[in-house]
Structure 1
Amino acid sequence: MFDLTQSTQDTAPSSSQRAIRIEATNHEGSLLGKNVSPAKFAAGKEAGFAFADILFAIDLGNEIVLGDAFPDWRGNIYDIQMIPDMSTLVEWKPGLDSVIGDYWLKDGTPVPICPRNLVRKMVARLEYLGYAATVAVEIEATLFEESVQEARKVGYRDLTPLGGSTGATYHLARSSDWVDYMDAVVDRLDRVGITWEAWTDEAAAGQTELNLAPTDPVRLCDNWARTRQVMREVAFERGHTVSFMAKPTAGFGQGAHINLSLQSDGVNQFFAEDGPSELMRHAVGGLLATMPGATSIVFPQITSYRRLVDLTGPPTTVSWGINNKTAAVRAVCGHPKYSRLEYRLPGADVNPYLAIAGVLAGVLAGIERRIAPPEQVTDMAWCLPDSVGVTRIPDTMSKAGAALDADPLLREYLGDEFVDFWVASRRWEWMEFHTKGGDPFAELSQWESTRYFEFP
């Protein structure tokens, strides 16, 4: 029913390239790939390039994960094919082209746990209903003066924030090293064809927010993954380091707000003169109905849950409200073009593709089942007492994993294979934390800094 064939748009490699880097994320959100020669690329770009499927069975500590639900690699490490999407081919830098691909099985079917294929599956289902999604993201990251080698030597602790030791949103008093870094980042984005809209300082010392322009879901995910790579490479080149951890220090956390609207024949279907359209209300209903389970997907790491502190910025309740930035879903209403939903839950450490797939799954569930949302929260959505009937967001990896495991909607839309695989991988992550030195009572443990600072 839902066509997942590759784009027919073909972009030719640049004439001066010495290598082509083929890329895709694994489930953890790490950008993986290999560099191939122009001759090798020409020979394999249609059939794909072999990657060992064990890439889905290795955790961030480089350990083999036992007990997951992607079983074909057991006993034998099979190859899966990464087939490049030629519409993503760009000149990354002189001599190096870059292309993003999807993981496919040898029988020609998509790998069911491939993050990019999950997004494409959700997009195809929306198209079947007559809708096209437009998505944007606000990426937060923290910059440090030290090089990544220096950061490694001190266990990523007690680093010096780039741009000064104070944090104040929208502040223009950052020192030139911070400004020069961001200028270099957006210059690189311009050169690789990623459209950005704004950047500013954020609440924490050294923290920045970079907003990517709205586009279709797959392209947005590609741009998001590449932007994080650009920010890393620019930091390395300048002798600095950058982290997308949910909390790289014991202070403020950092998120990745997703903005979404649906169009039909070019008309924004979330707009209505008198507030949320019926379609927007159903989308909200689906997002809230799936939010406890989706928390596991958008909070992938132990540190992700340390952001859930009332009054510090991230949402802590399964809630929505019109123009309410304390709620988990903010509805922006009243404008034919800009009416949209802002999904404020994900941390900066999220896999872009899984985040968007999870959000679209919730939207689809709401639309297809006409799920009515609960009453909106018109006051502050933090610190709400149990008596008001608003549910708290699952605040541990175990609670969120259990919620996803039990969620019939996310199982239907994302597939049992993905849900079983993801839940097993999070149980493994929980076990690694609790058996190899993680401290659940610390504001931020050394185990977390070592494991997550450079990843995804």
Structure 2
Amino acid sequence: MPEGLNAWRLLKGAGVKYVKFVIVDIFGRPKLEILPIDAARDAFVDGIAYDGSSIPAYTTVNKSDFVAQVDTNAIYIETWSGGKTALAFTSTLDGNKPHPMDPRNALKQVVEYAKSRGYEARFGAEVEFFIVRGNPPSLVDNGAYFEGYPLKETMPVIEEIIEQFYLSGIGFTKTHHEVAPSQFEVNIPAADPVQVADQILVFKILAKSVAQKYGLTATFMPKPFWGVNGSGMHIHVSLWRDGANLFASYKEPTPELKSAVAGVLENALANSVFVAPLVNSYKRLVPHHEAPTRVVWGLGNRSAMVRIPYYAQKINRFEYRHPDPSANPYLAFSAILLSAVDGLERKLEAPRPVEEIAYDLQGVRETPKHLGEAAKLATEGITAKMLPQQLVKAYLSLKEREWNDYLANAGGSWDATWNVITRWEYDQYLEVA
């Protein structure tokens, strides 16, 4: 029996009434084709036919008949809406080949490239977000980091999110209140990068849906409030060979870990537009709010761009703190993995790990000042060279347009608005980031 048909029968037998076929756009946002379960049968075998010209930057109207093939290993039940609907991720085809504009295809190809060099990647993600009310948003609680007292409005939302996180098939997780009021963090368990990228999207759909039930908004906008911590999406990375973790050690980082970190740091500025993709992202990347501004690394140092978790002096991964939760996870993961493998293949030497608070360091590279600068730097790194050129060109063009649109609506000046959150940002990002 074809895998697709078997998956369809399992869903129908489980009482699923509707299937949402997920097509990932260039920004990493889900686009959906919704079919009743009986009508979805053929789609699980033959794919979903759709108008590719209506997905941003995918194609032109004269070449717009696309087919998205279902990935039977990436199906999740929307338990938060009663379990009657399933999310089925797809990959778009160009004839019989993966379409180069589909970012999910791009990450799959990067993962396969890493495997061809002998590396199996495992990624995990710490996703931070705010629960807010209205637009412009207002804070819903005044909790602090690891808040222990009951939070009247946000705690019921978080408890339901965590319950549905497991029931929907993502796995086990943990959560806590983050540093800023109304801010929380949820962990996506470490696994294959494509699986984790899918699960980030499922989690965002879940969190937004549950918050809406309470009349609130779960926002993944990086910096919705000035003067408090923004939201990051810290990515934990390990690379394996023949079943052994190349980064596992005690007290001292392995040579492989150092080279991988060196590759990530070397490409950090060029990768910024892929991991911190919004105008608003660069209002998060400011000193003294636990967001990195200096391109350095350190053991247990949360002010550094790359932190080596160092609990009881045990090492098994690196944490890349540059990304935020608005990033397209498929492109962000591609950038991180390509950079780490590049460092390993070239046996790059890492600079000394910093013990100081990184914000105080002088004479080291700093994150781009704004999105316009980040977009210009992208062509200097390995990501822009290794990903499909059609995809890179379209992505950077859209980011340049986004930057220019911001300037046009913010009086033409970054210097006058870098430390305020504008109405334009709320309208563009609050609900869809």
How does the TM-score come out when normalised to structure 2? 0.91
Quick one: structure 1 residues 379 and 336, their matched pair in 2 at CA, closer, same or farther if it must change by over 3 Å?
closer
Paired residue secondary structure (1:46): helix
5+ residue gaps, structure 2: none
Task: Identify the residue that residue 157 of structure 1 maps to in structure 2.
Answer: 136
Q: Is the 8 A contact 1:27 1:115 kept in 2?
A: yes
Q: Deviations over 1:47-101 (max 9, x none)?
A: 321232234436xxxxxxxxxxx6x41x525122211101222332432122111
Quick one: structure 1 residues 119 and 140, their matched pair in 2 at CA, closer, same or farther if it must change by over 3 Å?
same
Task: Measure, in 2, the Cα distance between the counterparts of 1:372 and 1:228.
Answer: 37
Q: Is the 8 A contact 1:28 1:351 kept in 2?
A: yes
Task: Identify the residue that residue 129 of structure 2 maps to in structure 1.
Answer: 141
Task: Measure, in 2, the Cα distance between the counterparts of 1:384 and 1:416.
Answer: 36
The answer to whether structure 1 residue 331 and structure 2 residue 291 are counterparts is no
Task: Identify the residue that residue 170 of structure 1 maps to in structure 2.
Answer: 146
The one of 271, 277, 282 aligned to 1:300? 277
- How is 1:317-328 mapped onto 2 (pairs within 5 angstroms)? 317-328=294-305
Task: Measure, in 2, the Cα distance between the counterparts of 1:130 and 1:10.
Answer: 33
**Once the two structures are aligned, what percentage of the paired residues are identical?**
24
* Total equivalences in the alignment: 421
Q: What's the CA shift for 1:337? A: 8.2
Task: Identify the residue that residue 23 of structure 1 maps to in structure 2.
Answer: 22
Task: Identify the residue that residue 114 of structure 1 maps to in structure 2.
Answer: 102
Q: What's the CA shift for 1:196? A: 3.4
Q: What's the CA shift for 1:298? A: 1.0
Paired residue secondary structure (1:35): strand
- How is 1:253-268 mapped onto 2 (pairs within 5 angstroms)? 253-268=230-245
Paired residue secondary structure (2:153): helix
Q: Is the 8 A contact 2:4 2:45 kept in 1?
A: no
Task: Identify the residue that residue 62 of structure 2 maps to in structure 1.
Answer: 76
Task: Measure, in 2, the Cα distance between the counterparts of 1:260 and 1:452.
Answer: 28
Task: Identify the residue that residue 63 of structure 1 maps to in structure 2.
Answer: none
Task: Identify the residue that residue 405 of structure 1 maps to in structure 2.
Answer: 379
Paired residue secondary structure (1:242): strand
Task: Identify the residue that residue 194 of structure 1 maps to in structure 2.
Answer: 170
Stretch moving more, 44-53 or 303-312: 44-53
Q: Is the 8 A contact 1:169 1:202 kept in 2?
A: yes
Q: Is the 8 A contact 1:269 1:280 kept in 2?
A: yes
Paired residue secondary structure (1:423): helix
Task: Identify the residue that residue 368 of structure 2 maps to in structure 1.
Answer: 394
The answer to whether structure 1 residue 14 and structure 2 residue 2 are counterparts is no
Q: Is the 8 A contact 2:146 2:176 kept in 1?
A: yes
Q: What's the CA shift for 1:209? A: 0.7
Task: Identify the residue that residue 76 of structure 2 maps to in structure 1.
Answer: 90
Quick one: structure 1 residues 355 and 242, their matched pair in 2 at CA, closer, same or farther if it must change by over 3 Å?
same
Amino acid of the residue matched to residue 232 of structure 1? Answer: K
Task: Measure, in 2, the Cα distance between the counterparts of 1:9 and 1:127.
Answer: 29
Amino acid of the residue matched to residue 404 of structure 1? Answer: A
Amino acid of the residue matched to residue 282 of structure 1? Answer: S
Q: Is the 8 A contact 1:10 1:86 kept in 2?
A: no
Quick one: structure 1 residues 231 and 319, their matched pair in 2 at CA, closer, same or farther if it must change by over 3 Å?
same
Paired residue secondary structure (2:62): coil
The answer to whether structure 1 residue 103 and structure 2 residue 92 are counterparts is yes
Paired residue secondary structure (2:403): helix
Q: Is the 8 A contact 1:273 1:334 kept in 2?
A: no
Paired residue secondary structure (2:41): helix
Q: RMSD over aligned Cα, in angstroms?
A: 2.3
Q: What's the CA shift for 1:370? A: 1.7
Q: What's the CA shift for 1:255? A: 0.6
Task: Identify the residue that residue 61 of structure 1 maps to in structure 2.
Answer: none
Q: What's the CA shift for 1:418? A: 2.5
Q: What's the CA shift for 1:274? A: 5.0
The answer to whether structure 1 residue 207 and structure 2 residue 183 are counterparts is yes
Q: Deviations over 1:360-386 (max 9, x none)?
A: 111121112222222222211113222
Task: Identify the residue that residue 67 of structure 1 maps to in structure 2.
Answer: none
Task: Identify the residue that residue 396 of structure 2 maps to in structure 1.
Answer: 423
Quick one: structure 1 residues 7 and 211, their matched pair in 2 at CA, closer, same or farther if it must change by over 3 Å?
farther
Paired residue secondary structure (1:39): coil
Quick one: structure 1 residues 341 and 228, their matched pair in 2 at CA, closer, same or farther if it must change by over 3 Å?
same
5+ residue gaps, structure 1: 1-5, 59-69
Task: Measure, in 2, the Cα distance between the counterparts of 1:377 and 1:55.
Answer: 47
Q: What's the CA shift for 1:131? A: 2.1
Task: Measure, in 2, the Cα distance between the counterparts of 1:398 and 1:177.
Answer: 38
Q: Deviations over 1:19-68 (max 9, x none)?
A: 1111132121221111112233211223321232234436xxxxxxxxxx
Q: Is the 8 A contact 2:193 2:333 kept in 1?
A: yes
Q: Is the 8 A contact 1:13 1:90 kept in 2?
A: no
Q: Is the 8 A contact 2:250 2:314 kept in 1?
A: no
Q: Is the 8 A contact 2:12 2:37 kept in 1?
A: no
Q: Is the 8 A contact 1:282 1:366 kept in 2?
A: yes
Q: What's the CA shift for 1:269? A: 0.9
Stretch moving more, 213-222 or 366-375: 366-375
The one of 296, 310, 313 aligned to 2:290? 313
Task: Identify the residue that residue 53 of structure 2 maps to in structure 1.
Answer: 54
Stretch moving more, 177-186 or 412-421: 412-421
The answer to whether structure 1 residue 229 and structure 2 residue 205 are counterparts is yes
Quick one: structure 1 residues 174 and 359, their matched pair in 2 at CA, closer, same or farther if it must change by over 3 Å?
farther
- How is 1:236-385 mapped onto 2 (pairs within 5 angstroms)? 236-252=212-228, 253-273=230-250, 275-332=252-309, 339-385=316-362
Paired residue secondary structure (1:120): helix
